[in-house]
Amino acid sequence: MVGELIVGRYELEELVGSGGMSNVFRAHDRLLERTVALKILHEQYTRDEDYVERFRREARAVAQLTHPNIVTVIDRGEQDGRQFIVFEYVEGQNLKELSAQGPLDPREAIRLALQVAHALSFAHARGLVHRDVKPQNVLLNDDGQAKVTDFGIARSLDVHGVTQTGTVLGTSDYIAPEQARGQKVDPKTDIYSLGAVLYELLTGQVPFSGDNFVAVAMRHVSEPPPSVLEHRPDCPLRLDLAVQRAMAKDPADRFESMDELCAELEACLAELDGRDGEGATMIVPPPPRPRRARPQRERRRFPVGIVLIVLLAALLVAGGAYLLLTNDSAKKALHVSSAPSKPVALEGIGAYDPPPGDNSEHDGDAGKATDGNSSTAWTTESYHPGGFTKPGVGLVLRAPRPLALGKVTVEGTGTPFNAVIEGSDSPNGGFVQVSDRADVTGTTTFSIDTDGKTYRYYMVWLRLPGHEGQAAISEVRAKT
In degrees, to the nearest 5, what angle opens at C-alpha 183 toward C-alphas 179 and 188?
A: 55
Burial 331-340 (b: 16+ CB within 10 A, else e): bebbebeeee
Q: Which residue has the higher pLDDT, 448 or 339?
A: 448
pLDDT at 152: 52
pLDDT in tens, 90-149: 988 999 999 999 999 999 999 999 999 999 999 999 888 888 899 999 999 888 899 998
Whole-model pTM above 0.85? no
Cβ atoms of 351 and 366 within 8 Å: the answer is yes
Question: Based on the domain organization, do 382 and 407 belong to the same domain?
Answer: yes
Mean pLDDT (the chain) is: 82
Closest by CA to 377, choosing from 291, 259, 292, 460, is 460
Confidence class of residue 340 from pLDDT cuts 50, 70 and 90? low
Query: Total domain count for the chain?
Result: 3
137 and 111 fall within a common domain? yes
Q: Do 234 and 109 fall within a single domain?
A: yes
Same domain as 220, residue 125: yes
Looking at the structure, tell me whether residues 57 and 206 fall in a common domain.
Answer: no
Summarised one tens digit per residue, pLDDT across range 341-386 is: 788 999 999 999 988 888 889 998 999 999 888 889 999 999 988 8
CA 30, CA 35: separation in Å to the nearest integer?
9
Same domain, 422 and 459: yes
Please indicate whether residue 132 is annotated as part of the active site: yes
Is 320 among the domain residues? no
Residues 382-399: pLDDT tens digits? 998 888 988 899 999 999
- pLDDT over threshold 80, residue 267: yes
What integer pLDDT is reported at residue 339 of this predicted model? 52
Classify residue 315: in a domain, yes or no: no
Domain range holding 405?
Answer: 343-479
Q: pLDDT, tens digit, for every residue of 429-479?
A: 889 999 999 999 889 999 999 988 999 999 999 999 888 999 999 999 999
- Residues 462, 361, single domain; the answer is yes
The one catalytic residue among 29, 48, 132, 439: 132
Q: Which residue has the higher pLDDT, 275 or 238?
A: 238
Q: Are residues 237 and 184 in the same domain?
A: yes
